[in-house]
Each structure stands twice: as C-alpha cells, then as structure tokens.
Structure 1
Amino acid sequence: MAQVNLNDQLDQLQAARNLVLSDAALYPQVVQGILPIIGVSSALELRRWGSDFLAETFANPALPSTQKEQLATTVLPTLQELLDHDAEDMTVVQNVIQIAASLYTFVFRHVIRHQQEKTIWEQMTAIKHNILGRMDSAPHPVRVCCIKFVQRVVHTQTPGPIADPRRPEKNETSIAIVPRTHAILVIPNLEAEASGLLDRLLTVLQENSDDAILVNATLNCLAVMLRTRSTIANKILETILNFNPIKTLNGPLTPTMRVKVKSMERTARAVLINVLKRNPNHPKAGKMQQYMERLAQSCTEALDDTSRKRGPPAEPTDGLDNVKRAKLGVETPPLIKIPPLPPGPTSYAQLYTLTEDAGLSTFDVKQLPPDLIVKIAVAVLGRVDSNSLQQATEGIRARYQGLVAQQAKQTQVPAEEEDDDYEPEYQPADVPVQEAEDTMPTIFGLEPELGPFKLPKPPPMTEDEAGEVGRAAAERVFEMMVATPFKPAVKGPGTQSDRKGFARLAGGSFDTKEAWITMLVRMATRAPASLEGAAGKIENADGRPTIATHIRELLYRHILEDFRSRINIGITWLNEEWYNDRLQMQNASSSRSKENENLTVPLHYDSWVLRLLGGILPYLDARDNKVLIRFLSEVPEITSPILGHVQTLARDPERVTLCVQTLHYLVMLRPPARELCLDTLEEIYNTHEEARPAAGKVLTRWRPHVIQAQKAQEAPQPSINNTNGVQTAT
C-alpha cells in the first residue's frame, strides 16, 4: 500500500514538473509546495526526485534571476539537512552540490543587498564547508560536482568587470560590487579564500595527475574563469601551459592510459583554442600556439604506433646467420673447437686454455719481461678476429658455468649434517698479503671466498691544493649562476618566496637565479667565517686569495660589468656580509676571555661596500639617481666613509643634483643616518658653490641655522669714513 502511495506521489510530482516547464511563472508555488515532502525523513525516491527538480529549477534560463534569488534563501535549510545526513544517497548529494553551485551567486547578491541576513550567509557557509570536505575523498561523480562548486565560488569571490558603477544591480555578481564597509562580507577574507580555493583547484594540473576525469573537469571549469576573470587569468594560463599529460605515463602504456592521455590532451588543446578564438591578439598567443604544437607532437610520438617506422629486423650480432650466408654466398666463419676439461679438480690455467698443443700449454710466460708481454698482447689483440674472440669467450663462459653447477651439487649436504658441522668465517683481512698469496689454492673447486675490497685512502691534500680545488668549485658555481636565466619563483603557501630574510634557504630550488646567488654569497660569507676568524688572514700560504676572497672578487667584477641591472646582486651580497660581521662580532665578544682579550675577527662589510661604491660612482650620470638611491637605501648600514664617497659627486657640476637628491632621500627615509647625511650636506653647502641652491633647500628645513649663518656672512659690513666722520656702508 505504501508503494502504491509512493508511485502516486511521484506521478503527481511529475505532473507538477510538466506544468512548470510549460509556464515558468508557477515555479515559486511548486517549489514551496514540494520542499516539505523532499526532506531527510522522506523516501529515497522522493529525495532523488526533489533534488533533481531543484537542480533543474535553478539551471532553467526561463526563470528570472530575481525569482531565483528569492527561492535560493528558501531552499537553503533543506539543502543543509540533506548534506548533513551521513547516510545520504550519492545521487542526492550530486544534485544538492549542483544546486549549491547554481544558487551561490544569488545568495551572495542577496546578502550584499540585505546586510542583516546573517543567518542566510551562515547557512551558505556551512554548506560550502560540507562540500569542500567531500572534495578529496568522495567518489568521482561527487568530486566533479565539487569542482564545479569551487569554480563558482572562486568566480564569485574574485573581482569582475564593472560595466556601470552607478548601477551595481546590472553588473556581474563578483566581489567588486561588495561595499567596503559591509557588515557580513569582509573583502580581504573573501579574496584570501578564493585564492586558496584556486590553488587547490590548480593542484590537479600542477601535480600532473593521471586521473583524466578530474583533470578534464578542472580544465573545463578553468575555461570560464580564463574568459571572465582577468585578475587570475595569467595564473591559470601559466598552469595550463606547464601541464603535460605525457608525464602521467608512469607505468606501461595500456589502452586505458592511452585513452586517458588523449582525452586530457584534447581538453587542454580545446581550452586554449577557445581562448585564441575569442582573443586572437592575446599577449601569450604565440606561447599557446607553441604549446599546442609541442603537445600534439609529444602525444603522437608517445601514443600513435601507426606513425612510427617499422623497427629493424632481429639479426644476429655477427651480421648474418648460416641460412642467409648459404643463400647469399657469404663465407661461413670457421668454428673454434673447444676441448673438454680434464676430469678431476680444475686449475685456472686449465680453465682458460683452449689449445691442445702440449708445447704452448706448458710454456711459462713468467720467463718473458712484462713490457715485452704487453707489446705482444697489444699486437695480437689488434689482429684477432672478433668472431673468433667471441666464440672463445662463450666457450670459457660455458666451462665456468658447468664447473659452478658441478661444485654446487657436490657441496649439497643433508640438513642434519649442516647443524653438526661448524666452519669458522674466513677473515681475509687478518691474513698478511704474502701469506695469502702462498696459501691461495690453485684448484678451482677449492677457491676460497674473497673478502671485501677497499680502495686505499688518498693522500691528504696540502693547503695550496685544497685552495686550488675550492677556487675551481667556486668558479663552477659562479658559472651556473651566470648561465641561469632570471625566473621569479611562483608564490604559494609554503614556497621559497614565503621564507624571506636571512633565514631563507639557499638551496630550496636550483632553477632560479636567486637561489644560485644566495648560495654563492653564503659560500663567501657564512661558510668560512670561523676559519677566517681563527686564521686572521684573507690569503693562503702561497699568497693566493682564500676561497671566500676569490668568490668576493668574482662577485665584484660581475656586478661592475653591468651594475645597473645587477645592483640587486650587490645589495644581497652586502646584506649578507653585514649580517655575518655582526654574528662574528657577537660570537667573539661572548668567547673572549682574560687569556685572549685581544681576540679579533675579520670584518668585510666596510671594505667591500666602499670598494663597490667606488667602482660604481665614476660611471654614474645624472639619470642614475634611482640606481644610487636604491643602493644606499637598501645596504644595511650607512657610514661616514660611504657618505664621503658620495660627496665626491658634488665636484662634478653635472652630478651635483644626483648627489643632493640621494642625500635628501636618506635624510627623509633613513633616520639612523640622518645626522651623518645632514653633516655631509652642510659640508657640501659650505664647500661647493654650485651645490648651494639644491643643498640649501634641504638645509632650510632641517638645519636653518646653517643658511642663516651663511647669509649673515655674505651680508655687507658697515664702515666709517674717517675724513668726514660719517658712517657709510661699503
């Protein structure tokens, strides 16, 4: 009876569906009527029908967006109940996730307009978290729906185009229409969540997953954001261009893997073709075209067996077998006769003897000098027929394998006898060399087991040799740094770019120039710090520079070759030098004792910053203010000698403005060095008359008394005319 009632209910619901399909204006009434009968307590068939109907409702373009927005707030409690039900059917879960993906934008716009609707946004957030929790562990049909939902969330919480700022209701639903002072929607949190979900979506492509279903679903969802979200389009496009379906071939090429790779390749190519059709003048059009051609060629080479040439026929190593030789009239090489081994124990001489001539067998080769034996052996080997040599080698191998098999049969004993017999381990290391040679048996069957072979330790290197090897290694690392093109690292959670400062890893990745620079700089600063502190010198015994000094010289020359583009290398280097100097000073002060009160450590920052600055200043012109200002603003410490070098620019009338602008910048934005810079400006003002107009503007604000004193000194002094007794001004 219950089954009959259920069938009647399904027939009535189907009639209601046909009714709303003919007239979309009836959707609100039908949706309100079916919500009570498709809840968690309803039959499974009703829940399946209801979730499928709601998914169809919010995807129907005939229903206006305003009515969808009103219905979205109504169906949220029912959707949350269906998702929170642990034993829910997979079909129902699929439909509910599709409904959530369709109404997310409508709920988002509704909350923007009604800031007091906090409960609705909390329900949508709970549904979102439930769906994201299923994304990695659910079956494939549910995971595909989760990917679509994540795409809709990222699309909504990413800034979109604003067609008319005066009519926000007419613009596309995105985070761009959210007011800055919204009570519920916090823009930074929404942007951060969208960025994290986008990274989670792109992980499938970045890891070169072999799951074609998830990869194709992700690519199809990314195509929409490539077209409508310019802020994240470059990131998505770079990820697609780095995706290679061929890398998913980890095992044998089965028909299933062949279909998967072809499917992923065609989907990636279709996405890029769609982008090029909509924007033929795309900045990365050439790169996308090259990627598609390269991808098609790789798949053809890896998968298409019909395009390959037929492999060479299986031929014997000597070129022809006996049958072909007979047909082609080729002479068959003579076969070497391999005599059988004599019975009994076999020596090494008998094993390798293939001749039956008694005279040759009994000849003692030790009677000949070694150099003559070497000459004879080289001459004979040069004239030996390769076929004959191969036959002889195969004959000796067959002899050896037969002897090993025979020895294995003779050494087999019953298990009971093995327990009673005891044989101590052979320790060849305890036997002297001469004794081992004397006791070595000549019988093959009684050959002892050899011990481990160890190469002798190399002789210790002198200080000069170690320095030479170290300098060569440093030069090779420097060549790698120069040859590596600059490529900014992709920023992401837990990547190298997040670990900034002196604590960053030098060897995090060797595909960027920054990593090689960091490693090379630390080879010069941190690695030999304690050694230099103990030695107190920067040269070896032979007068050549140490490894660290050699690296510093390489860096110095490399920066001066093109200091405008390589100034960042110099800044990185000098920061490491300053940091290392401070560490060494701190360690020296903590370890200084009464017995060694004069303990000092070599400091490198002051000398190298002055040397590098001295090499750069002669080549600066009036347009290089950004280079000099950046250098002086990013080096860790400004000292009087540094400002003394900068002051020399005031001697050149064409570079006076460059000098004053640099000092003015340091006065404003480097308070610790402000007084030193003002002293330098005051000295320039008093010394160089060409610099007074520019320097006077700075000193007027920071040290007006200097300007007043100069004006008072230049003012005319009164004098007295002694003849007439009248005071006049001269």
Structure 2
Amino acid sequence: MNPAGSSTSETITSLNSARAIALNDPNYYSQILPAIIPITGPQAAIELQRWGAEFIAETFASPILGAEQKRELSLQVLDRLKELLDSPGVDTNVLKGAVQAAASIYPHVLRHTIKNPSDEATWQKIAAIKSNILRRMDNAMPGVRICCIKFVQRVVQTQTPGVIKDPRRPDLNEISLALVPRDHPILIPSNLEAEASGLLDRLLGTLQEDISDPLLVTATLNSLGSLIRSRASIANKIITQVLNFHPVKLVSGPVTSRSKLVVKSVEKTTRALLVNSMKKSPENPMNPRIQQYIERMQRARIEYFESTRKRSAPVEPTNGVDQTKRQKLAPENTKPPEITPIPTTMTYAQLFGITKDPIIKSFDVTAIPQDTVARITVPLLQAVDETMLQNALNLVRTKYLELGKSRQQAMAAQAAKQQAMAEDDDEYEPDFQPPEDAEQLANRLDTTEERGIDQAPISLGTFKLPPPEPFSELQLAETCKATAKRLFGVMSSTSPSTRQTAPKAGFNRLAASSYDRNSWVTIIVRLATRASAGISAAPNAVKSEEKKPSSVTPEAISNSIRDDLWHYVVEDFRRRIDVAIAWLTEEWYGDFMINKHEGRVVSRNYRAWTMKLLNGILPYLDAKDKNVLIRFMGEIPGLEKDVIDAVKDLARDPERVDMVVTSLLYCIITRPPVRDLCIDAIEDLYRNYEGAKARAAKVLQKWRPHVLVQEEQAGGLANGTSAQAAAPVVVKTETAV
C-alpha cells in the first residue's frame, strides 16, 4: 500500500467536500480559496496541482460570485498562477486550468490597477503571466492553445474601448479601456490599445493560414462572437476577415469522412457566427455581403460533397415540372364531386364548403390569425391541382345558381298562395290567361311589399348618449402619462420649422399655431408649468381645485411631465438646449405669476428644476460645448448664485477652465444685474483655483484691477518679510566669524 497515494486521495476527497460547500454558498469562496492555494503549488502532487488549477478556474468563472469578490481573490492567486506557468514540465491539465483562470482574472486585475495607480507590482505580475501564455500559443498542445485563444480574446476585449453606460457609476460599467484615465502612471491607453490590435491580428491570422487545425479554427470563430457583440469599433474588421475565410481550404488531399466532417462543422460554426451578427445589427451595411457569403459557402460545401459521387445527381427543375419528360397519356381520374340537394337558405360556410367531413365543417376558421391565413393561402393555391380547383369552382357556382332559383320558386309559391286567399267566393271565373313566370311574380310581390310599407311617419324623440364613466385615479394617471408620452413622440418626430419667408409676428404672435416642433415644445412646456399653477384660470377656480382630496393632483401630473422633459433634454442636451431654455423661462414666469396671488404657499419650481437640469448636463460637458454653456447661462431668465457656483466648480478640470471663464465673461458683459456675482466667481477662481489663475487674471484686469494690485502687494510684502526674518541670522554669522 502506498501511504503517499492514500494521503493524496484523502486530501482530494476533503477538497471535493469543500468545493461542494462553495457551490452551495458562494460566500465560502473567500475562505476556501486562500486555504487551498498553499497545498496546490508546483511541489505538490500532480493530482493536487490539477485539482487546484481546475478549482481556481472554476471559482473565477462562477456567475454567482460577485465582481468585487473576484477582484479581491484575484490578487491572492496571481503568485500561484505565475508559479504554475513558470514551473518546468508542467502538466497539460494544470496548464489549461491556469490559462483559463488567467483569462478570467485579467479584467479584474486591470480594474484594480485603475483604482490603485501606485500598485505597480500587481500589474507586473499579470504582465508576466500574459507574456508566458502568449509564448505558448503557437507551440503548445491543441487543448492548451484553445485556452490561449480564449485568453487572447479576453485581453483584446478588455484593452479595447467599450460603451460607458453611466459615467457617474464606473463600478457598474463593463471593464474596458474606456475606464483607464489618460494620465494613469502605469496604464498607458495608447500602448494597451496597440497591443490589443496586434493580438487581434494574431487571432485572426489563424483563419488565414493555409494549413490549420480545425479545432483551433473553431475555437477562434467561437471567441470572435463576443468581440463582435461587445466591441462595435472592431466588429467590421473581424467580419471582413471572416468573409475572406473559406472552410473548404482547411482540408487537402482526397475527400474522406473526416474531411467532410471538418468542412461541415467549420461551415456551421461560421454560419452561426455571421447569422448572429446580422440579428444583432440588422441595419449593418455589410449584411448583404454576409448573406452572399453564406450562400456561396453553402454552395461550396455542396460542390465539395458532390465531387466524391460516381455520378452526379440529375439536374431537376425547381418548380417540379420538366418540359422534356414524356407526357402521361393515361386518363386522369378527375371525377367532379357530387352535388347534394340545395336548401332554400344556407350560410356562407355551407355555400362555399365542399367537404362532407363533419369535423372539418365544425372547425372555426376565424380562430386563425389573418396574417397566418394570408401567408399559407398563396402556397396552397400554387400547389393545388388546376383541374380540382376548376371542379370546386364549378360546384360552388352551381350551388349559387340553384340557391337563386330555389329562392325565386319559393317567392312565387308564396305570392300565388296569398293571391288565392284574397279571391272572392263569387262564381265569376276570368278568361284563360297564360301563367306568369317567376320573374313577374317576384316583381308583383316586391310591389305589394312596397305598398304595405307606406305608413304614417313616426316622430323620434331626442336621443342622448349616456355620459361615460368617470376615470379612477389610476386610470387618470396612466392616461396622463400616455398622453405626455405621445406628445413627446410627436415632438421628436417633427422637424423644426423651415418657413423662412413668412413674416415674424414678434410679441404679437399666437403661440403653438404653426404645428412645427416649436409649437409642440410650447404645448408640453405649458402643460408642465401652467396646468398645475392655474395661471390662465381664475383664482377662485384654482383654490377650489386644491380642496379636492385626490392622490392624482395637478401638481403630481405636472411633476411627471417635468421629469419627462428633464430626461428629454438630458438625452441630447446639445441639440435640445432651446427646449431647456423655453422650459425654464415658463417655470420662471409661472413662479412670477403665482407670487402675485396673495395668501397662497408658493413652491419655487424654477430654482429646483434649473439646478436639477444643470446637474444633469454638467458631467457631460467638455471643452467643445462652450457655446452650449454660454447660451444656457445667457438666456435663462434668472441667473442665481447657485447656478454660478455650479458652473464655477467645472474649473477644477483644467480642460474646462476656458469654457467656464468665457461663459462667466459673457454674463458679465450682457447681464448687468448679475455682473457682480460673476466677477466674484472670477475672483474666486483667481484666488483658489491654480489652473484658472492666468485665464481669470485677464478678466479681472479689466473689470476688477484692484484685485491684481492687492495680490501683487501681498506678494511683495511676503517677500520683504521673509528677507527681514533672514537678516539677523546673517549678522550673527558674520559676527561669529
């Protein structure tokens, strides 16, 4: 009995128990993984090394383990992974697990380095692991190379800029190069992006090699799918390289069962990759090329399989009719269906139905959707036999004619019966008259019925529709939201007015009368600001509305529309800044009119929504948006200190100093009532913001020059004081000498 082998098996049994505990509760990963790392090093038994590498890869691939926990655990396994990869003669299974684990932890190490720019050692470790894996990518075993391909795909995805959904919450965004600051001391974005581009070319080179392993090609195609979905900047490059790939070129020599299987498998993987890319972006201009490539690839596969046949399959027409075939001379059995006796009254189903099966007769055709009926009718009409169709049409035509004749006969019999009952019992017998046909009897019956209709006119009373039921509070709220949503949809789809020749009415114009985008903006803005304030209504009416106890108040509806307006402006504030100014102008006017009513508590909507809108726009402003900020500050009706302070805080970013100073200078020149506030803000920038000092000094030199003089005097006084403080020391030193 081998004691070492028995001890190893017992250890693995215990480790499997720990794994089961971690699978049931992911919180135990943080306790189990640090305890397992010391016993799975290069000096341990090969079974323990395999188990450890597999468990590490499984831990970081677990979808139930949080990203923050993975980031913390990744720092603890870096040294162990580096030791396993650097050890000579490492086992293939151990190597595969280590590479898979490295692929999983690479994004988390990058996020850690972004948050901790002073931790250069951690980035050096992952860089060494990356270099080791890339060296093995060309000469390792096929299984290891497949894992290396997955690692390269993860590196390319991490080091390529992605989409930032919310810049205010970077922890929730996808890990990509877009999160790396430009001035990071360790991570240089340009170098990382260039490395990712080179690795992508290396990955795509697998598809262009003359002789390549089908397993590697399949692994490469599978890894490219996630890059196409998540990285739009490199999607077209990947698709272009895939379109230059031909699965038939993977095999050479005689056609065998293995070569057929290889071509079929790779062709299926390639088709799935391209079809999924078309589904993801149906408006991609490359989709026609992709569709042509898929059809061409399918034809190449069929031709490759057909080349092994002793005799190629006969070419048959696509419509199933070959003109060169001999005509069938045997008589066809085209016996028309029997015509049953026609009743005097029948439904449309009985008229056009020709089947005798009671189950089919009882089937409700109206249960089938109309689009489904339209979709299946055309193929059925194309496939039906023409002779059978003509027989069915003749049957329906016969039934229709017989039905008309039977109705005429019934009407004639009824008219004769009525005439016989109306005759007197006298002995007078008229001369012989030829009998009337069915048409004459029908005309006489119609005339009799028309005479019987002549009656005195009936006077109808006034008819009024009952009033509709009043809306509940929930229905009222939903209706208001739906109406506002439709108004925003109309406003988004309506282009601005292009009428340049019409004279402008100025202040005498009628608002919302041109049915363009500006009119809809006016309607929505006034719904939000004036509906709840009651500006256009009498004061008594406003007070009576406020007394109604209801959870769906006009204020709540107006605030809901204000929220929609806020989202509408912030989504594209550069193009919709005019909507924001019009909205805030109406808010200011509403507050002004409400202040004129006495005895009413007024909520300052203008100040609150101005700050909320400004806080939603400021994080996304860059140096190119100078005109947007100048227009906003120059055209809103009330410029208060809160707005100026919020704009002033943008100067903390050196790239936006010029934009802040220029907007404040514009307000100084064009808005005298707030000139002192803006100059105070410029002075504060000069005194407390080192990056804005030079730009602010130019403004103060014209508008408040004494600040610069005081600053220079204070600087000179400070220099003189320091010189006087140093003088006694010099005198004492000279005396001592």
TM tier, shorter chain? 0.3 to 0.5
Q: What is the TM-score of this pair, normalised by structure 1?
A: 0.42
